[in-house]
A and B are shown apart, each in its own frame.
Chain A
Amino acid sequence: MSQTIETTTQDTAALRELIDQALAERESNQINKKNKITIVAWDGHLDRVWPTLILSTTAAASAMEVSVFFTFWGLFALVKPERRRKTGKDWMTKALGQMNPGSTSKAKLSRYNFAGMGPWMLGKVAEDYKTPHPSELLQLARDMGVRLIPCQMTMDLMGIGVEDLIDGVDEPIGAATALLEMKESAIQLFI
């Protein structure tokens, strides 16, 4: 009888040790996430860029760190609106530049675009409701310290240089740095 109790006590002690070990291990593996949001802005449509910028500015107003990584079609939101761009190194990248005019003011709707009628109507309604247009929100985001990060690979692929981008954007980065931004963020979104 007494032997059984002793064995049980030993087992319990051994089990507790195992649990403590497992807990310590889990603790050391944990990533300390910052009060930060990272958004991957992949789509260039007006109705995607808009919520991205609303979330970014609201997060910045809520004392969160904000990084937005502009990649593929999303990158065109950071391209200067001025004049007809002559970006691209060869006919293919030049054609891509022609088909994707720069800035959010030229962005199309993903549906109900109606050759520009849709975006114009949405802009008009937003004006009436005093919701800032993406072009204003982009400026606001920049002023509030939101990091606007262009994707280096997309720039190469589309033939877009740093001189084609609006002022105040971050240094272009690659996928690994983008992943690092996401890893340390409490919230990550792909829009």
Chain B
Amino acid sequence: MDVITATVDARGQSCPGPLVALHKALRDGRSGDLFELLATDPGSKSDVPSWATLSGNELLESGESQGVFRYVIRKA
């Protein structure tokens, strides 16, 4: 199983907070690294996939549990 390199906890933040936090975390990572993003912003449901398309990073997983959205991203 792949190991998550870093978790970005953006719970409680709204647009554009979660994506900016994710971007900062990815900048310090290497290509192929896996990142986990936690967010409570409902806008992230559409925004994280859009961000992946724009930035060329791969969205591997997305899900929700008890009001927290969780995404797994592979850095391009």
Interface residues of A (CB under 8 A from B): 54, 57-64, 129-132, 137, 140, 144
Q: Are A61 and B23 in contact (CB under 8 A)?
A: yes
Q: Which residues of A contact B51 (CB under 8 A)?
A: 58, 61-62
> Mostly helix, strand, loop or mixed at chain B's interface?
helix
Contact B19 A132 (CB under 8 A): no
Is B55 an interface residue when CB atoms closer than 8 A count as contact?
yes
Total contacting residues, chain B, CB less than 8 A: 14
Interface residues of B (CB under 8 A from A): 12-17, 19-20, 22-23, 51, 54-56
Q: With contacts A63-B54, A63-B56, A64-B54 known, is A58 near B16, CB below 8 A? A: yes
- Contacts A62-B55, A130-B17 aside, 18 further interface pairs with beta carbons under 8 A come to A54-B16, A57-B16, A58-B15, A60-B23, A61-B16, A61-B19, A61-B20, A61-B51, A62-B19, A62-B23, A62-B51, A63-B54, A63-B56, A129-B14, A130-B12, A130-B13, A131-B17, A132-B17
